[in-house]
């Protein structure tokens, strides 16, 4: 997630596999891929939980 409300997702060795925008309200995030796909998730203790996955901030 980028500070300008956009995201750039890498999958495996494929950089920029998905790109789109996101909005955070409280602990909830909604995001919209540029292709039209939508998804959401919840932050628990600063960690994103989405579709059975746990996503940590890149250090």
pTM for the predicted model, two decimal places = 0.81
How much is the pLDDT for 47?
94
Model confidence at 41: pLDDT above 80: yes
Q: How confident is the model at residue 44 (pLDDT cuts 50, 70, 90)?
A: very high
Query: In CATH, what is the architecture of 22-59?
Result: Beta Barrel (2.40)
Residues 6 or more apart whose CB falls under 8 angstroms from that of 41 comprise 28, 29, 31, 48, 49, 50, 51, 55
Write out the two tokens for 44. Answer: 């628990």
Residue 56 to residues 7, 16, 27, 43, Cα–Cα distance (Å):
14, 18, 15, 10
Burial 34-56 (b: 16+ CB within 10 A, else e): eeeeeeebeeeeeebeeeeeeee
Model confidence at 32: pLDDT above 80: yes
């Amino acid at each position: 997630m980028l500070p300008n409300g956009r995201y750039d997702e890498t999958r495996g060795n494929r950089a920029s596999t998905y790109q789109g925008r996101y909005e955070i309200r409280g602990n909830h995030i909604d995001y919209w891929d540029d292709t039209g796909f939508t998804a959401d998730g919840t932050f628990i203790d600063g960690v994103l939980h989405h579709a059975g996955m746990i996503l940590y901030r890149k250090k």
